[in-house]
Amino acid sequence: MLIPTFVLAFCISVMAGIFVIRCQYARAAQFMDSDLSGPQKFHVTPTPRIGGLPVLLGVLAAWMGGFVTGLVAVHEQGALLVAAMPVFLAGLTEDLTKRVSPVARLLAAFFSALLAILLLDAYLMKLALPGIDDFMLSMPLFAMLLTIFSVGGVCHAINIIDGYNGLMGGVALLILGALAYVAFKVGDQSVLFACMGLAGAVAGFLIWNFPRGLIFAGDAGAYFVGFMLAELSVLLVFKHPDKVSPWFPMLLMIYPVFETIFTIYRRRMRKLAAVLPDSMHFHQIIYKRLVRWMVGSTEVRHLVDRNSLTALYLWGVGMFSVVPAMLLWQYEWALQLGCLLFTLVYLWLYHRIIHFRTPRWMVLRKIKGQ
């Protein structure tokens, strides 16, 4: 059932992506990202920005397939899809109108997280930290609020790393692979089914997003994927508290999560609003300090190559946390140590690159003819 689920979601997502791309000229004003001048804009031609729609349709197709065959209990994913609608619609409205503020989208993510708690009765009951766990058990309301805040934060974090062709989708697939593996190990067929459906939908979107960038996920896609990743993590930890530590999903998603925390710190240190966009994210300095030198031509095909090459670096960054999390998912101390090591390596690399002292092993040879 798992392979057909992936294939069904993949095919529907691919076909929906074709439809969106074909409609780009008929509805260019609504669908296209034509602003090429913003601090977080690195594409060279107007591009459809409603890639979240193919992802949603792929996941919905997987859910309907499971519902019709009856081979897998899919009530959890149905509830997740209902709960995801507020944040998805807020993102889609922003993609179409550019009039939904970051704060409004974050509030929509919080509301979706609240709906998930009401529909699934699942929330984080521990953090594996002395003293805090007892307080969370005695104060369920605090635990629920912490879960809402965490899910909303992951939604925003996944949106932050959605900056280059294939970046968000590739990182999401790595995380989903690890979640599916642990769900299989603990015998959670429902979460495993949901992971396979979402993975198929994201992979179908990536066909058009990487490497050519024919379609973007947009806020709807990034927030929807972020919400699903966060909630699947919550379900896995909630349903298997004695087997799955909350530090497992933390290490899985430490790259986008710490990117968000560091961005807020960096902006506050510069006395800037935390929600304002800038061009100093880790993936952006990789682009400007490494990739732009290696592929320096202004030809359109080289600009596209430059955009896509950036994602390859960040997939490596994602694997630096995802692979250890998947291999050491049963060892809580190792997961905590992994989070600490990732944070230190991130800060070290950021400092080196921003000061033009990039480690030699990160620098590829400049393309001939540049």
**Alpha-carbon distance values, 102 to 10, 92, 105, 191, 324 (Å):** 30, 13, 5, 30, 33
Residues in the chain, overall count: 370
- Answer whether residue 74 is part of any domain: yes
pLDDT of 161-184, one tens digit each?
998 999 999 999 999 999 999 999
**Which comes out higher in pLDDT, residue 271 or 333?**
333
Q: Decide: 125 and 137 in contact? Cβ < 8 Å.
A: yes
Asked whether the CA dihedral 179, 190, 234, 258 is positive or negative, the reply is positive
Domain that holds residue 18: 2-362
Name the residue type at position 117. I
pLDDT at 43 over 50: no
- Answer whether residue 369 is part of any domain: no
User: Which of 6-10, 26-30, 293-297, 352-356 has the least mean pLDDT?
Assistant: 26-30
pLDDT at 353 over 70: yes
- Answer whether residue 221 is part of any domain: yes
pLDDT of 266-322, one tens digit each?
888 877 776 667 778 999 999 888 886 666 666 656 677 778 888 999 999 999 999
Residue 48's pLDDT band (cuts 50, 70, 90) = confident
The whole-number pLDDT of residue 369 equals 46
- Answer whether residue 274 is part of any domain: yes
Neighbours of 168 (CB within 10 A): 30
Please tell me the chain's helix, strand, coil percentages from 3-state DSSP, rounded to the nearest 5: 70, 0, 30
* Averaged pLDDT, 52-56: 95
**H-run or E-run covering 165:** none
Q: How far apart are CA 241 and CA 124, in angstroms?
A: 9
pLDDT at 226 over 90: yes
- Answer whether residue 253 is part of any domain: yes
Q: Decide: 195 and 173 in contact? Cβ < 8 Å.
A: no
- Answer whether residue 320 is part of any domain: yes
Is 72 buried (19+), middle (13-18) or exposed (0-12) by CB count in 10 A? buried
Pick the closest to residue 96 from 50, 159, 34, 155 (CA basis).
50
**What token pair was written down for 241?**
């508290």
The whole-number pLDDT of residue 370 equals 47
Predicted TM-score of the model (pTM): 0.91
**What token pair was written down for 207?**
């066909």
Look at the chain and report how many structural domains it folds into: 1
* For the chain, percent of residues with pLDDT exceeding 70: 87
The chain-wide mean pLDDT, for the chain, equals 88
- Answer whether residue 368 is part of any domain: no
Residue 89's pLDDT band (cuts 50, 70, 90) = very high
- Answer whether residue 370 is part of any domain: no
* Averaged pLDDT, 328-350: 96
